[in-house]
Amino acid sequence: MEYTSRQMTRKDLPQIIAISRENMAAIIYASWGVEFRDEDLLHMLLEPTAFTEVFESGGRIVAYYSVDERNDNLFINSIQVLKECQKQGLGREMMARIQARAEENQLRGIELWVQITNRPAMEFYRHMGYRMVSRQGNNYLMRRRLDPREGWRFVV
Ligand SMILES: CC(C)(COP(=O)(O)OP(=O)(O)OC[C@H]1O[C@@H](n2cnc3c(N)ncnc32)[C@H](O)[C@@H]1OP(=O)(O)O)[C@@H](O)C(=O)NCCC(=O)NCCS
């Protein structure tokens, strides 16, 4: 798929919310018994310390990820691919960029929460070299470490 990427601007928010809602509403309902809340996502995306990159193809946003630094780790707040564009390599590309960013900033690792009902995402992260660290409520914490002894190159 041909695409371009750039940093998110406020006018992207409606499309980002639509993609996330379509992907996550059922999973969030199954995990927590609550509706998907746009405002939770907005709050996270508009944090001044968050970095969000969008991917466009055919004049629309087809994917995005949002990360933030937390205690010397890069934390993936959200990573989403439009349903019809999944399984075409966008997820792998975004994870590569996230890893490059963590390396550049000499962070200790990359972390994320995944809902325990979101089996496909868990398998995707595992495939990308992430390992389960702990469970908190209906979430698993997953992590990939950077090893400073390797000159900040990644170890699985
Ligand atoms: C999870 C998600 C981001 C992955 O992005 P994607 O573009 O579909 O994934 P890619 O096509 O880049 O796949 C990358 C690799 O992961 C593998 N993979 C993807 N989904 C997988 C799954 N469910 N199980 C096993 N492997 C999987 C692919 O086979 C591919 O392997 P390869 O590159 O070695 O051949 C995307 O499917 C998505 O947006 N899902 C819905 C939203 C979501 O759950 N986000 C995470 C919230 S925590």
| Residue 26, ligand 1, Cβ within 6 A | no
Please report whether residue 11 resides in a domain: yes
Residue 149 pLDDT class (50, 70, 90 cuts): low
Please report whether residue 156 resides in a domain: no
- pLDDT at residue 154 in the model: 54
Residue appearing with tokens 């170890």 = 155
Report the domain count for the chain: 1
Distance 73 CA to ligand 1 centre (A): 22
Q: What is the mean pLDDT of the chain?
A: 94
Residue 98 reports pLDDT greater than 60: yes
pTM of the model: 0.94
Residue 145 reports pLDDT greater than 60: yes
37-77 residue pLDDT tens: 999 999 999 999 999 999 999 999 999 999 999 999 999 99
- pLDDT at residue 139 in the model: 94
Tell me the average pLDDT across 78-86. Answer: 98
Q: Identify the residue whose C-alpha is closest to ligand 1 atom 36.
A: 81
Please report whether residue 69 resides in a domain: yes
User: Structural domain of residue 106, as residue ranges?
Assistant: 4-150
Mutate to test the pocket of ligand 1, among 41, 90, 127, 156 (most ligand atoms within 8 A of CB): 127
Residue 82 reports pLDDT greater than 80: yes
Please report whether residue 116 resides in a domain: yes
| Residue 91, ligand 1, Cβ within 6 A | yes
Please report whether residue 144 resides in a domain: yes
Please report whether residue 25 resides in a domain: yes
Distance 130 CA to ligand 1 centre (A): 13
| Residue 114, ligand 1, Cβ within 6 A | yes
- pLDDT at residue 76 in the model: 98
Distance 84 CA to ligand 1 centre (A): 12
Please report whether residue 83 resides in a domain: yes
- List the CATH number of the domain containing 117: 3.40.630.30
| Residue 23, ligand 1, Cβ within 6 A | yes
Residue 137 reports pLDDT greater than 60: yes
**Closest-lying ligand 1 atom to the alpha carbon of residue 95:** 12
